[in-house]
Amino acid sequence: MTPHSGSAHNEVRARLGSPEEGADARTEPRVRRLDRAALQGVLVREVVNFGSFWRSSTFSSTVEPTIYLLAFGFGFGSLVSKVNGLDYVQFVGTGTVATAVLFSSVFPGMFSTFVKYQFQHTYDAILAAPVDTEELVTGEALWIAARAGTYGCVPMLVAMAFGLNPAWGMFVVPVIAFVSGFGWACFGITVAAVMKSIDNFSYVTSTVITPLFLVAGTFFPISNLPQWARIAANVNPLYHCVQLVRHAVFGFQTEDLWHLGFIVVFGLVMWRIAIARMERRLVD
């Protein structure tokens, strides 16, 4: 066991009890699922550990979407002044929020989860305490979603510096980013649980994440796309996040209930799948 996993073991033991207590707890039926103390232990460990790498994580999760915003906003913006009645910088600035949410949730869910259980054996240490796989996955996804909800606002703040007018609906954007980020975090955890090598992540990135990223209405409206592409966009969770963010900034519409319902259902479904796949990986 590495020093890192050992320290994680000690942290969880301090929060949730000794291994002997954990063993006794597992011999008794759990009174309730998603125990508060177990979730708190997982989250506290993540917060403490985040202090050692927050600079690099924040840099990678915010700079790349901002570069997309500036490149597309001022590149295509010089050729296209208006899109759907909006200045192109405003159109891209609100859409890039979803891109930041995607990058800051799905990739940590994939890479960080894989490293923790495959190389650092951090999850073995956590599961030695009275924490089950459901609580472990839920705690990880909630923490990643909280970061995504924060990082996702950065492109919007940059767009405000270039002419995006402030609106009261912007206060809802972190909530939208959190809900969407939870689903993508669970998707990333599922991929990490299924794949046997980090090298295999490139298949998911190329065949799933990149197409969803491009057909999400971030950089251009989907209304002028072929019929099959419009259908694909409407089953794309990232598209629904883009629409919710835009409408939060420029005015909510009745169709937003559909967009919100879609990303909520996506998050719940991926949450249960992530728990099942990680249970098979860690316990079975």
Per-residue model confidence as pLDDT tens digits over 109-124: 999 999 998 898 889 8
pLDDT, position 67? 82
Three-state DSSP state, 33? coil
Mean pLDDT score, 154-173: 86
pLDDT, position 77? 64
Give the whole-angstrom CA distance, residue 145 versus residue 181.
Answer: 5
pLDDT, position 219? 84
**Domains in the chain, number:** 1
pLDDT, position 89? 81
Per-residue pLDDT at 256 exceeds 90 = yes
Per-residue pLDDT at 17 exceeds 80 = no
Which of 35-49, 64-78, 183-197 has the lowest average pLDDT?
64-78
Which residue range is the domain that position 226 belongs to?
Answer: 3-282
Look up residue 253 and give its amino acid.
Q
Q: Is 234 exposed, middle or buried (0-12, 13-18, 19+ CB in 10 A)?
A: middle
Find where tokens 């917060």 sit. Answer: 47
User: Considering just the CA atoms, what is the radius of gyration of the chain in Å?
Assistant: 20
Which neighbouring-strand residues pair with 87?
Answer: 82
pLDDT, position 51? 84
Mean of pLDDT over the chain: 84
Q: What own/partner pairs with CB < 8 Å and gap ≥ 24 does 79-85 have?
A: 83/220, 83/221, 84/221, 84/223
Q: How confident is the model at residue 139 (pLDDT cuts 50, 70, 90)?
A: very high
For residues 173 and 153, the answer to whether their CB atoms sit within 8 Å is yes
From 251, 223, 216, select the one nearest 237 (Cα to Cα).
Answer: 216
Mean pLDDT score, 222-245: 89
For residues 83 and 148, the answer to whether their CB atoms sit within 8 Å is no
Mean pLDDT score, 53-74: 77
Q: Which tokens in the block code for residue 130?
A: 């009275």
- Residues 16, 17, 22, 27, Cα dihedral to 10°: -100
Give the whole-angstrom CA distance, residue 199 versus residue 164.
Answer: 40
Buried b (16+ CB within 10 A) or exposed e, 32-42: eeebeebbebb
Per-residue pLDDT at 31 exceeds 90 = no
Buried b (16+ CB within 10 A) or exposed e, 183-193: bbbbbbbbbbb
Q: How confident is the model at residue 14 (pLDDT cuts 50, 70, 90)?
A: very low
Q: How confident is the model at residue 12 (pLDDT cuts 50, 70, 90)?
A: very low
